A and B are shown apart, each in its own frame.
Chain A
Amino acid sequence: MTDVVMPQMGESIVEGTLTKWLKKPGDHVERDEPLFEISTDKVDTEIPSPAAGTLSEVMVEEGKTVGINTVVARIEENGAGAAAAKPAAQAAQPAAATSPEPAPAAAAVVEAAAPAPPAPPVEEPAPAGEPAGPLSPLVRRLARENNIDLSRVKGTGAGGRITKQDLEGYLAQRPSAAAEPVRPQMPPAPAPAAAATVAPKPPAPLAPAGPAKTRVEPLSTMRIKIAEHMVLSKRTSAHVTTIHRVDMTAVAQMRERNKAAFQANYGFSLTYLPFITRAAVVALRQFPLLNASLDGNNIIYHNEINIGIAVALENGLIVPVIRGADEKNVLGLQRAVVDLAARARSRQLKPDEVLGGTFSITNFGSFGSLVGTPIINQPQVAILGVGTVDKTPVVINDAIAIRSICHLSLSFDHRLVDGALADQFMSKIKQVLEGWTEEVQ
């Protein structure tokens, strides 16, 4: 005889509620077979039997709470109890036999999937207890459609035959709940939209390699965001990139003249970026389609010009936005660029400072890149890439001159913007920069 006790499920736990017996007295249990369940707080625990044998006595009924180490049942290893368990097991067998497997499910699937023939040949299953005597096809059909047990319908036709009127009379009397025809299946619930947010499986995961050959590291949240955004953009927009060579000599001279004053007066240097941003703003004013978004079959023209400036971070990228960029001169733009970049790198941007951009500029030239083909920052329709500014020999009026040359590239969404327009836009930027006259402060 083995005592079964309420186990201690943790240091602070002094009692448990026996919620369910999984075996009845007389049942045979194997050692380690779940015997009963206890509940503590939000935890349900299955308790395995400490011994094999017959559950001979149950001392604690379901729903009772008892202290730990309380004996809740006894198990008899062998003997009388085992015999008592046997009949129960035998009784279970015929019960199982009375529920024969219905038609194989696979057959039903095949039937449903097959193209519908003019009328699917439905075999007429003889309803249980069908009365003897002939039945008209109409009566059979009515009975089937209304789920009527024909043995319960009294026939008034010739020789006790059941007629259509008999069925109608029976239906009228039958309680409405029973008469209700089988309701057509509800259309399946729409697939939950959020299911789509679960990242799709990559085509084929890498085969697990030896520990020395690879190292697995989860992506940072920012990296995941960037990845999602880049792929989304490539999938959304028809990217085309056009590249223009711009003579920055006039801007370079303006910059040289003001550099020292900027550092002295404002505490930051003067770069090429605010000039290019300013030129882009002028061009966006002239070509508002580049300062737009595409929403289905509608063009959304933005009345504000909010320029996103891509800022490289240690392990990522963020695009803070200069709002109302058209209201700022070169000084104001430079100040905004310096401020946003600094706060982006120290992670002090406010959430709304990365939202609402209508056009973006990315300055990969600062890393030495000559030309790039940037990816559009959705839902915008164009992004300007700025290459490095180098002194380059160029031909002017059939003479070779040394000029400060920069390559500007514009990736645009060909769904909305055609090449001719994109190049007019770029020509405008080029014209502003090459003929720069505006004072900067």
Chain B
Amino acid sequence: MDYASALELQRRLVGERQQGAIDDQLLLVEHPHVVTLGRNGHRENLLASDEILERAGVAFHPTDRGGDITYHGPGQLVGYPILDLREWKRDVAAYVRALEEVLIDTLADFGIAAGRIPKLTGVCVQERKIAAIGVHISRWVTSHGFALNVSTDLSYFQYIVPCGLTKPVTSMAALGVRATLDDVGYVLAAHFGRVFDCQMPLAAPALAGARKREPI
């Protein structure tokens, strides 16, 4: 799903969630190559010119999530939870820590020992960043979310300073774990359901888990 469509879908779901028209949702998607810049991001962390990005087939998209610059692309499992935090803990920091927990537990199931990054947000394996988090909240309803490198072509990160960090990146594949996005998505959805205490019926095959059937 291209980034703009995913943004539009999130915008619609956030609106419906704010009105209480739908239950909490978890969207799991894969984007074509795109570099996105958070609201507080610094464009100087984009290391490539527009021309180079264009030649590499990478789109550029400013966006309204937290965090700095990041890259999305094939082989990366991107999760967009649309949750009303008033029904959870009313705690933004706890929400981010819970997302990290979901990612760490998911990686553990694939035999990868991942951890938090002290004082920062995201998930690391041996000092290498494997998952990024960037969240937007409007009236306690979340959008944006996380991006987990499953079999991402890491060379695309050369175009940016991920989240403004000069930390190297890694992926599950780079750590020797061969898994498809679907494999990881199923495991992740299960952990998500546990951590956020919700049931995860499947909305669309191999695409999204959510509390409620939602056409996607």
**B30 with A9: CB separation less than 8 A:** no
**A216 with B202: CB separation less than 8 A:** yes
CB B172 to nearest CB in A, in angstroms, measures 14
Chain B CB count within 10 A is highest, among A190, A208, A216, for: A216
**A32 with B66: CB separation less than 8 A:** no
**B39 with A190: CB separation less than 8 A:** no
**B207 with A11: CB separation less than 8 A:** no
Task: Mark contacts of B85-117 with chain A using CB atoms, 8 A cut-off: 1 yes-contact digit, 0 otherwise.
Answer: 000011111111000000000000000000000
Q: Does A218 contact B (CB under 8 A)?
A: yes
CB B57 to nearest CB in A, in angstroms, measures 3
Interface of A is mostly: loop
Task: Mark contacts of B111-153 with chain A using CB atoms, 8 A cut-off: 1 yes-contact digit, 0 otherwise.
Answer: 0000000000110000000000111111100000000000000
**Distance, CA A46 to CA B30, complexed state (A):** 26
Q: A20-B39, A198-B207, A201-B205 are in contact. Are A44 and B135 (CB under 8 A)?
A: yes
CB B159 to nearest CB in A, in angstroms, measures 14
Task: Mark contacts of B175-200 with chain A using CB atoms, 8 A cut-off: 1 yes-contact digit, 0 otherwise.
Answer: 00000111100110100000000001
Chain A residues with CB under 8 Å of B122's CB are: 42
Residue of B nearest to A351 (CB): B178
Q: Does A138 contact B (CB under 8 A)?
A: no
**Distance, CA A44 to CA B96, complexed state (A):** 11
Task: Mark contacts of A203-232 with chain B using CB atoms, 8 A cut-off: 1 yes-contact digit, 0 otherwise.
Answer: 001001000000010110100100000000
**Distance, CA A40 to CA B134, complexed state (A):** 11
- Number of chain B interface residues as a range: 35 or more
CB A316 to nearest CB in B, in angstroms, measures 14
**Distance, CA A191 to CA B57, complexed state (A):** 9
Task: Mark contacts of A160-197 with chain B using CB atoms, 8 A cut-off: 1 yes-contact digit, 0 otherwise.
Answer: 00000000000000000000000000100111111101
Q: How many Cβ-Cβ contacts under 8 Å join chain A to chain B?
A: 125
CB B192 to nearest CB in A, in angstroms, measures 13
CB B26 to nearest CB in A, in angstroms, measures 13
CB B112 to nearest CB in A, in angstroms, measures 15
**A202 with B205: CB separation less than 8 A:** yes
**A218 with B202: CB separation less than 8 A:** yes
CB B56 to nearest CB in A, in angstroms, measures 8
Chain B residues with CB under 8 Å of A199's CB are: 182, 205-207
Q: Which of A12, A48, A189, A190 contacts B93 (CB 8 A)?
A: A12
CB A231 to nearest CB in B, in angstroms, measures 13
**B139 with A197: CB separation less than 8 A:** no
**Distance, CA A19 to CA B56, complexed state (A):** 32
Chain B CB count within 10 A is highest, among A9, A39, A44, A197, for: A44
Q: Does A41 contact B (CB under 8 A)?
A: yes
CB B129 to nearest CB in A, in angstroms, measures 12
**Distance, CA A10 to CA B86, complexed state (A):** 11
Chain B residues with CB under 8 Å of A37's CB are: 39
Residue of A nearest to B143 (CB): A44
**Distance, CA A31 to CA B74, complexed state (A):** 42
Chain B residues with CB under 8 Å of A41's CB are: 66, 92-93, 96, 121
- The interface size of chain A toward B, counting residues with CB under 8 Å, comes to 39
Q: Does B64 contact A (CB under 8 A)?
A: yes
**A194 with B136: CB separation less than 8 A:** no
**Distance, CA A100 to CA B159, complexed state (A):** 37
**B205 with A186: CB separation less than 8 A:** no
Q: Does B162 contact A (CB under 8 A)?
A: no
Chain B residues with CB under 8 Å of A201's CB are: 204-205
Task: Mark contacts of B65-98 with chain A using CB atoms, 8 A cut-off: 1 yes-contact digit, 0 otherwise.
Answer: 1110000011100000000000001111111100
Q: Name A89-118 residues within 8 Å CB distance of B.
A: none
Chain B residues with CB under 8 Å of A12's CB are: 91, 93-94
Q: A41-B66, A189-B33, A192-B32 are in contact. Are A197 and B92 (CB under 8 A)?
A: no
**B133 with A46: CB separation less than 8 A:** no
Chain A residues with CB under 8 Å of B65's CB are: 44
Task: Mark contacts of B8-36 with chain A using CB atoms, 8 A cut-off: 1 yes-contact digit, 0 otherwise.
Answer: 00000000000000000000001011000
**Distance, CA A246 to CA B149, complexed state (A):** 53
Residue of B nearest to A215 (CB): B201
**B66 with A43: CB separation less than 8 A:** yes
Q: Does B213 contact A (CB under 8 A)?
A: yes
Give 4 closest A-B pairs by Cβ, nearest first: A194-B74, A189-B57, A10-B91, A44-B66
Footprint of B on A, CB under 8 Å? 9-13, 19-20, 32, 34, 37, 39-46, 48, 186, 189-195, 197-199, 201-202, 205, 208, 216, 218-219, 221, 224
Footprint of A on B, CB under 8 Å? 30, 32-33, 38-40, 54-57, 64-67, 73-75, 89-96, 121-122, 133-139, 163, 180-183, 186-187, 189, 200-202, 204-207, 209, 213
Identify 5 new A-B residue pairs, CB closer than 8 A, beyond the known A9-B91, A43-B137: A19-B39, A44-B39, A44-B64, A186-B54, A194-B73
